Amino acid sequence: MSDNTTNLTLFEQLGGEAAVNAAVDIFYRKVLSDYRINRFFDNVDMEQQAAKQKAFLTMAFGGPNNYSGQDMRNGHAKLVKMGLDDSHFDAVMENLVATLAELNVPQELIAQVDALAQTTRNDVLGK
């Protein structure tokens, strides 16, 4: 029975959309409270932003999404102009890892989420 997990995607192992819903409140609160990065999130409607956070988490969890690398570039280009760099990316990842730890996600799955998100770094930072 436990062997089933080997066939599950990372997204499914994390718990799918329920995991995204559980994580989004905690994660977004951390991001908005983090002085290193919260200026990037000023002046956006909170509900819309929360929807985007869900899109972010779904993607970070390896869930279904239609974003290409180019979309990630375009989506964050405005932020790169505002000075978005590696330190901000690291800060977001720190908040994401802390969120998952708070939700008692096993370390090995957190490592997988981290590795997956790192693959988008260059696109997000427009490198």
Partner 1 sequence: MTRIKFDDQTFTSQNDETVLDTLLHNNVQVPYGCKQGVCFSCLMRSLDNAPPASSQVGLKDTQQKQNYFLSCLCKPENDMTVVLPNAESVWLDAEVIEKRNLSANVIFLKLKSKDPLAFFAGQFVNLRRDDGVTRSYSIANIHNPNHELEFHIRILPDGQFSRWVADELQIGMLLTFSHAQGSCHYIEGKEEQPLLLIGTGTGLAPLYGIIRDALSYKHHGEIHLYHGSRDESGLYFVEKLRELAKKYSNFHYTPCLSSSTDLSTDYAHGRVHEIALKECAKLDGWRVYLCGQPEMVKHAKKMAYLQGAALNSIYADPFTY
According to DSSP, residue 6 is labeled G
Instruction: Work out which of 56, 63, 105, 110 binds ligand HEM, going by CB under 6 A.
Output: 56
For the segment 38-97, give every residue that binds partner 1 (CB under 8 A).
Answer: 46-47, 50-51, 54-55, 58, 63-66
**Is 106 in a helix, a strand, or coil?**
coil
| Of residues 13 and 27, the one with the C-beta less far from ligand HEM | 27
| Of residues 24 and 84, the one with the C-beta less far from partner 1 | 24
Minimum distance between the CB of residue 12 and ligand HEM, rounded to whole angstroms? 19
- The token pair that represents 41 in the structure block: 């999130």
Q: Nearest 5°: CA angle at 49, between 82 and 106? A: 100
Burial readout 33-54 (b: 16 or more C-beta within 10 A, e: otherwise): eeeebeebbeeeeeeebeebbb
Binding site for partner 1 (CB under 8 A): 16-18, 20-21, 24-25, 28-29, 32-33, 46-47, 50-51, 54-55, 58, 63-66
